[in-house]
A and B are shown apart, each in its own frame.
Chain A
Amino acid sequence: MRNLWIFISRYNAFFLFIMFFVVGIYLTVKNNAYQRSVTLNSSNEVVGTAYERLNVFKRYLNLGMVNDSLAAENAKLKSQLLKLTTIDTAKDVKVVDTVNNQQYTYLAAKVVKNSVTLRNNIMTINKGTVDGIKSGMAVIAPQRGVVGFIRDVSAHLATIQSLLHKDTKISVTLKKNHALGSLVWGDGNFDIKKAFVKEVPNHIKMYVGDTVVTSGYGSFPAGVLVGKISKANVATNDNFLSAELNLFTDFSTLQYVYVVKDKRADEQKALESMAKPNE
């Protein structure tokens, strides 16, 4: 120990230099936007390129399967073409039924109980099974913004599991580059005006100020405005990017909400349940 101390004090110029130099470099990289962007981006570029290479390789491996499916599709199209060329088109009358074709209808409901201060927030609205509300329906805010999902329904009331709940996950896309992600709230930040878009693939470039909309893959219709990105490229420990966004919905002042009825929800559910998992 004593020898070490003598060694350090003899070459103190060098050790002091290392110390101050590291602090200087740290300050440079930490506080200058350009230097920071370079150090972060170059590592991201490496990861992104690696993924791209891997994708090319995977695509090659899948060529056989793609070929088969294309051949099957070709056969189907050809048989359809055969059918069409033999049909008498002159007698075919087309009627476009716009009323029944509308997939989504909105039902306005009044919020009778609301909470925003808990970790898992649930609100109550004054519409129930009598009005055709079912569990799992999407709920959106009047002007713009998402609210959550219907949770339990009674005859005249229903509870909403709002976005401010640990189990709520909404599929969203970034408007500029159509990248998919999932919208969640919480996770270290319990500001009711902010949420996170998670699970965005690593090669996607996010932009501050970009609008986030729903993707239409869940029970939400596509294109419902969710919020604006306030902090892009938040690194997480997994292989995905995250972004922080400012929500358009103001949960603390919600008075009315719209429940979204999806005409084809049952049909979709029935169809999708046919596919067995792990098939």
Chain B
Amino acid sequence: MSALLEVRHVTKKFGGLIANNDISFDVKENEILSVIGPNGAGKSTLFKMISSFLPTTSGEVRYKGERISNLKPHVVARKGIVRTFQETTIFKSMTVRESIVVAQHLRAKASLAGYFWGSKTAHEDVESFGNYADDLIDFLGMAEIANEQASNLPQGNLRALGIAIGLATDPKVLLLDEPFAGMNHEETMRMVDLIRKVRDERGVTVLLVEHDMPAVMKISDRIVVLNFGEKIAEGTPLEIQNDERVIEAYLGSADDEIGM
């Protein structure tokens, strides 16, 4: 399998602080790759650079050979690389269904003016958005909460909503920001199944940044480990579990983070 997403020598400096130093790895088509590391390892910074929410200081990220770093977030999203957020970043006063409908706007065939005048194409778009939203709601098992306002949903559902919004854009690569944070074991396992299903049934490549070790070990095809802004290991879950540098990095920091 060829590399879909290439991270090449990516470095980020905030003044004198080096958040990411010369990080390189590949994300292959249709795999689930996790980036893990102790607090402050630079996971979030890397995540933001891949989605162009932050510019790189040097190095670049490529998607199918095309540079996608140092662009605007919406440009990267239009190429099919879509990130999700943690639970607080939602459309608070929209329902689940409305959020999913609005997130499909990139699939619109009619122009904004077409919508304004109510053209035929616009009506077709609206209908297809609605159908697609219903499909997605079924797929994600969110039928019961489809017409709930997002601000009324419990945390676990919000995370699923975030993924639903991301999926509604019909992405090629989905970047998930700590999808298991704050979840109990049962919720985590449900989310693991959901992400697997997204990959298996929709052919979406998944890159996720996460703390929760058991979940990461269960879900990932491969894992990249960061510590103090550097990549210290890359490999399958089994390789990572037995990597001495990884064990050292984790034992050297807060023990409870490893959770295993």
Chain B binds chain A: no
Q: Which residues of chain A have a CB within 8 Å of any CB of chain B?
A: none
